[in-house]
């Protein structure tokens, strides 16, 4: 059986820098996998390669056996990969609800402002999906507020809601806990766990090692663009190569 998501000897260079260097990973359906590594290890670039925001210079990305490298971010989102960004991409001057709708619209491929009856059905579906996504992250009450007016912590959930509105088969989260306090981080950890228990496949980039180790069954470690370890949290924590990679970098 082929993996749900696979990268095969995937690489991306920027000038002379190998940001992602010959990385092969396989994610099975229903897994919650942590992706860790020191700053500059290539984690975000790997996510960009998977979601189509960056084109690879070598290698392949396969989703359910089909090559998706070279497709646009929009096409990849349509095929079922939803993501969040390390630097939030929230539109501050529109409502929380409208921020989520942007995600749902992407999925339905609807023309904005269309009035045809079948488009109306689509737009009802978008409204419903958007409300469901907001409910899932606990932001229903804030639906009408301007995104600029909700707290930073809530904006992180808003990003997740936008990705969820696309009803992705695979959710990739880039440092969702960055900037959150201890209590908020714990809340987020149980939220991600719940998404996983509901059957979602998730890859989680996270700086907060305790969060990763507590909720992921498997952890992949990148350092200087290369995969240096792939195993259970226990294995990864005992791996001397991983320890050296972290010690070698000023954080
Ligand atoms: N668009 C880009 N242009 C040039 N260099 C980049 C670009 N994106 C990332 N890099 C470089 O690639 C390396 C990996 O970056 P990144 O994937 O953001 O690491 P991480 O997310 O693990 O901190 C870094 O050295 C970074 O400076
Ligand atoms: Mg990053």
Please give the pLDDT value at position 119: 61
Cα 5 from Cα 50, distance rounded (Å): 9
Secondary structure (3-state) at 184: helix
Over residues 188-241, the pLDDT tens digits come to 999 999 999 999 999 999 988 889 999 999 999 999 999 999 999 999 999 999
Whether the predicted model's global pTM rises above the 0.85 cut: yes
* Nearest atom, ligand 1, residue 39 CA: 23
Cα 100 from Cα 175, distance rounded (Å): 19
Average pLDDT, the chain: 90
Please give the pLDDT value at position 2: 77
pLDDT band at 106 (very low <50, low <70, confident <90, very high): low
pLDDT band at 108 (very low <50, low <70, confident <90, very high): low
Q: What's the whole-number mean pLDDT along residues 100-114?
A: 61
* Per-chain residues with Cβ under 5 A from ion ligand 2: 43-44, 86
Please give the pLDDT value at position 148: 95
Please give the pLDDT value at position 40: 95
Nearest-CA residue for atom 18 of ligand 1: 44
Nearest-CA residue for atom 5 of ligand 1: 14
* Nearest atom, ligand 1, residue 222 CA: 22
Please give the pLDDT value at position 136: 94
Q: Report the chain's C-alpha Rg in angstroms.
A: 18
Please give the pLDDT value at position 4: 95
pLDDT band at 146 (very low <50, low <70, confident <90, very high): very high
Please give the pLDDT value at position 203: 98
**pLDDT value at 111 more than 60:** no
CA atoms within 13 A on the CB side of 96: 24
Tell how strand 81-83 and strand 5-14 pair up: unpaired
Please give the pLDDT value at position 97: 95
Confirm or reject: Cβ of 189 under 6 Å from ligand 1.
no
Q: How far is CA 204 from CA 117, 124, 132, in A?
A: 40, 31, 22
Please give the pLDDT value at position 120: 65
Query: For a pocket test of ligand 1, which of 42, 223, 245 has the largest count of ligand atoms closer than 8 A to its C-beta?
Result: 42
CB 221 within 8 A of CB 33: no
E-strand stretches of the chain: 5-14, 17-27, 32-36, 58-63, 66-67, 81-83, 170-174, 201-205, 218-223, 226-231
**pLDDT value at 249 more than 80:** no
Tell how strand 58-63 and strand 5-14 pair up: antiparallel
Query: For a pocket test of ligand 1, which of 12, 15, 18, 19 has the largest count of ligand atoms closer than 8 A to its C-beta?
Result: 19
Q: How far is CA 251 from CA 72, 206, 226, 245, 247, in A?
A: 34, 14, 19, 12, 9
Confirm or reject: Cβ of 39 under 6 Å from ligand 1.
yes
DSSP β-bridge partners for residue 82 = 171
CB 188 within 8 A of CB 156: yes
Cα 58 from Cα 127, distance rounded (Å): 40
Write the CB contacts of 64 (distance below 8 Å, at least 6 apart in sequence): 2, 4
* Nearest atom, ligand 1, residue 225 CA: 14
Cα 45 from Cα 128, distance rounded (Å): 33
Please give the pLDDT value at position 102: 77
Please give the pLDDT value at position 5: 98
Cα 161 from Cα 214, distance rounded (Å): 23
Over residues 36-79, the pLDDT tens digits come to 999 999 999 999 999 999 999 999 999 999 999 999 999 999 99
The percent of residues above 90 in pLDDT, for the chain, comes to 78
Please report the domains of the chain, with CATH numbers, ordered by start residue.
1-80+171-180+202-251 (3.40.50.300), 86-167 (no CATH)
Please give the pLDDT value at position 134: 95
**pLDDT value at 118 more than 60:** no
């Amino acid at each position: 059986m082929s993996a749900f998501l696979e990268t095969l000897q995937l690489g991306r260079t920027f000038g002379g820098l190998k940001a992602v260097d010959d990385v092969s990973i396989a994610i099975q359906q229903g897994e919650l996998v942590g992706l860790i590594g020191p700053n500059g290890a290539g984690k975000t670039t790997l996510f960009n390669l998977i979601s189509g925001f960056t084109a690879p210079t070598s290698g392949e990305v396969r989703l359910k056996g089909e090559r998706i490298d070279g497709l646009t971010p929009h096409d990849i989102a349509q095929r079922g990969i939803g993501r969040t960004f390390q630097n939030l991409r929230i539109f501050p001057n529109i409502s929380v609800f409208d921020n989520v709708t942007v995600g749902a619209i992407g999925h339905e491929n609807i023309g904005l402002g269309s009035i045809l009856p079948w488009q109306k059905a689509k737009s009802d579906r978008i409204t419903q999906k958007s409300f469901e996504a907001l409910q899932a992250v606990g932001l229903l009450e804030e639906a009408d507020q301007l995104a600029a007016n909700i707290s930073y912590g809530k904006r992180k959930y808003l990003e997740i809601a936008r990705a969820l509105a696309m009803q992705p088969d695979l959710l990739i989260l880039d440092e969702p806990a960055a900037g959150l306090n201890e209590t908020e981080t714990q809340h987020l950890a149980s939220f991600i766990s719940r998404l996983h228990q509901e059957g979602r496949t998730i890859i989680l980039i996270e700086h907060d090692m305790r969060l990763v180790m507590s909720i992921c069954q498997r952890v992949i470690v990148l350092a200087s663009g290369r995969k240096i370890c792939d195993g259970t949290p226990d294995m990864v924590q005992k791996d001397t190569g991983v320890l050296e990679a972290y010690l070698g970098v000023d954080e």
